[in-house]
Every structure is written in C-alpha cells, then in structure tokens.
Structure 1
Amino acid sequence: MKKEECFYLGKIVSKFSFRGEVLAKLDTDEPQLYKDLESVFIAHGNDLVPFFIEKARLHKSDLLRLKIEDVNSEEDADRLMRSELYLPLAFLPKLDGNKFYFHEIVGFQMIDESFGRVGVIKGVNDTTAQALFEVERDGKEILIPMNDEFIKEVNRKKKEVVVATPEGLIDLYLQ
C-alpha cells in the first residue's frame, strides 16, 4: 500500500502498559469511528507496513488505546513510538453537501460567483491559521481562504467548488 492511497490517521504517542499497549493521538474530530479497527498501516520509512489490532478502545475521549498483534512488551512498543498511522482512503466516511476532504477536491475547478472561473485547485494549505485553497490560474497561484461563508457549493459531479470571495481578492493575485 502506498501513502498516496491512504490517509493520515494519527500518531503513536506513548506506551500504555508493560504488555505492549500503546496510545495513539488521532487526527480526527470523531475518534469513536476508529475504535473497532482490525488493522492499521504504520509508516516505516517510506513504506507502510500492515499491523493487525487485537483490541482497540478510546482512552480519555481523544486517544485510542491499541493492543497490536505481536507487540507484547515495552521494548516492542518502544520501537513504534512516534510512528504515524494510516488507513486506506476507502475507510473515510462519505461526505456530502459542502463538506469535503482536502484530497478529494484537488483537481476541481474553482468558480467565483462574481469573478467566474478562477482556476484549478492544486491543494490545500492547512499549515496557516486558516486553511487556504491553492488555486492555479495561468501559472499563478491564488490563495483563497477556506471559509464556510465563502464556500457556496461543492459539486462532485462537475468537479467544481463554487465560492463567493470578497470583491478584489482574486484580482490581487492577477496584477
């Protein structure tokens, strides 16, 4: 399995018991969706290695306590510390309406209600205080704040995201 075929689930952050249990911090608003996992991919360098889970349960609401098959001691668990966890994209719950996963809108056209066709969404920058659509238009990058008030429609059939940005925002990038 390749990382491009998976999504980042979280990271193993600490040991829990002398029997090799670990705690994983999940990158999700709904950790309860993952309490019945049967397996997970753990990043090992550039590779993803499958591991089977004997038992998983929520711990203090936002951590997942995992007992991974063949991880039976503190030493075994030490080797997994700070490892990233991944699951196949097919495990993501389907979203509808104007909700979307960042990876799913890459390649969509961005249409502004006033400006018209803005360009192609190349990615999402979520390292800033507010996530930004990265849109390419004629070799130029246009950054559009990912604001619920701006997003008017996500049309999966047409592969379009329709927005209503403040007047002049897009023009700033084109001058």
Structure 2
Amino acid sequence: MQKEECFYLGKIVRKYSFKGEVLIKLDTDEPEMYTELESVFVDFNNNLIPFFIEQSGLHKSTLLRVRFEDVDTEQKADEIIGLDIYLPLSFLPELDDEQFYYHEIIGFTAEDVNFGKIGIVKGVNDSAAQALFEIDRDGKQILIPVNDDFIKKVDKKNKTLLLDTPEGLIEMYL
C-alpha cells in the first residue's frame, strides 16, 4: 500500500496500559466512525505496515484506545509512539456533490467569478491555522484561503472549482 492510496487518520500519542495498549489522536470530526476497524497502516520509516487491531474503543471521546496484535508490552508500545496512522482512501465516506476531500480537487481548474481562470489546484496546505488552496498559474503560486464563503461551486464532473475571492487577493500574487 502506498501513501498516495491512503489518507492520514491520526497519530499514536501515548501508552494507555502496561499491556501494550496505545492511544491514537484521530484527525477527524467523527471519531466514532473508526471504532470498528480491523486494521490500520502504521508509517514505520516511510513504509506503511499493516497493524491488526484486537480491540479498540473511544477514550474521552477524541482518542481511540487500541490494542494491536503482537503489541503486548510497554516496550513494544514505546516503539510505535509518535507514528502516523493511515487508512485506504476507500474507507472515506461519500460526500455530497458540493463537499470535497482535499486530495480530490488536486488537478482541478480554479476560476474566480470576477477574475476568470486562476490556474490549476496543485494542493491544499493545511499545516497552518487556515488551510490554503495552492494554485499554480504559469509557474506562480497563488494561495487562497479554503473558506466556505469563497467557494461558490465544486464541479467534480468537469474538475472545476469556482471561487469568489476578495478583490485584489489574486492580483497580489501577479
């Protein structure tokens, strides 16, 4: 399994018990959707390794408490603390037509209602407090906040993203 075929689910943040149980901080608004998983992929030295789940449940509503097969001691649990967890893209729930996952809109043509064609969406930077569309326009990068007020239409069939950005935002990059 390659990372490109998966989505980031969360990170193993700490041990829970002396029997090897760990707590996973999930990167989701709906943690309850992930309590019945049979396995996950753990990013171990840039390789996705399948880890099979013996038992799991929510802990304090935002953390997933997990007991993995073959992780049955504190020492084995210590070895996986801090590692990222992934699932195949097929595990993502279907969204409405106007909703999208960030990976879905890469390659879409971004247009603005006033400016016209902006460029091609190359990615979404969500490492800051405000996620940003990264749009390539003839080699120049244009950053536009991912904001519901700016997104007018997502046309998955025609691979276009129609935006209504504040006046001057796009021109600032040109």
Per the alignment, residue 56 of structure 1 pairs with 56
TM-score where L is the length of structure 2: 0.96
1:121 correspondence with 2:121: yes
Task: Find the aligned partners of 1:75 and 1:169 in 2 and give their Cα distance.
Answer: 52
Task: Find the aligned partners of 1:146 and 1:156 in 2 and give their Cα distance.
Answer: 17
Per the alignment, residue 97 of structure 1 pairs with 97
- Give 1:1-175 correspondences, 5 Å limit: 1-174=1-174
Contact 1:97 1:153 in 2 (8 A): no
Task: Find the aligned partners of 1:27 and 1:129 in 2 and give their Cα distance.
Answer: 14
SS at match of 1:32: helix
Q: CA deviation at 1:88?
A: 0.6
State the one-letter code of the partner of 2:127: T
Residues 85-123 of structure 1 show CA distances to partners (whole Å, capped at 9, x for unaligned) of 110111111112332111111100001111111110001
In structure 2, the gaps of 5 or more residues are none
State the one-letter code of the partner of 1:10: G
TM-score where L is the length of structure 1: 0.96
Contact 1:98 1:151 in 2 (8 A): no
State the one-letter code of the partner of 1:88: P
Question: Which stretch of structure 1 is more off in the superposition, 91-100 or 10-19?
Answer: 91-100
Q: CA deviation at 1:36?
A: 0.4
* Identical positions, percent: 61
Q: CA deviation at 1:128?
A: 2.4
SS at match of 1:90: helix
State the one-letter code of the partner of 2:118: V
Contact 2:97 2:156 in 1 (8 A): no
Q: CA deviation at 1:130?
A: 1.3
SS at match of 2:170: helix
State the one-letter code of the partner of 2:40: V
SS at match of 1:169: coil
Residues 66-96 of structure 1 show CA distances to partners (whole Å, capped at 9, x for unaligned) of 0111111111111111111110111111112
SS at match of 1:18: coil
Q: CA deviation at 1:156?
A: 0.6
In structure 1, the gaps of 5 or more residues are none
Q: State the superposition RMSD in angstroms.
A: 1.0
The runs of at least 4 consecutive aligned structure 1 residues that moved more than 6 Å come to: none
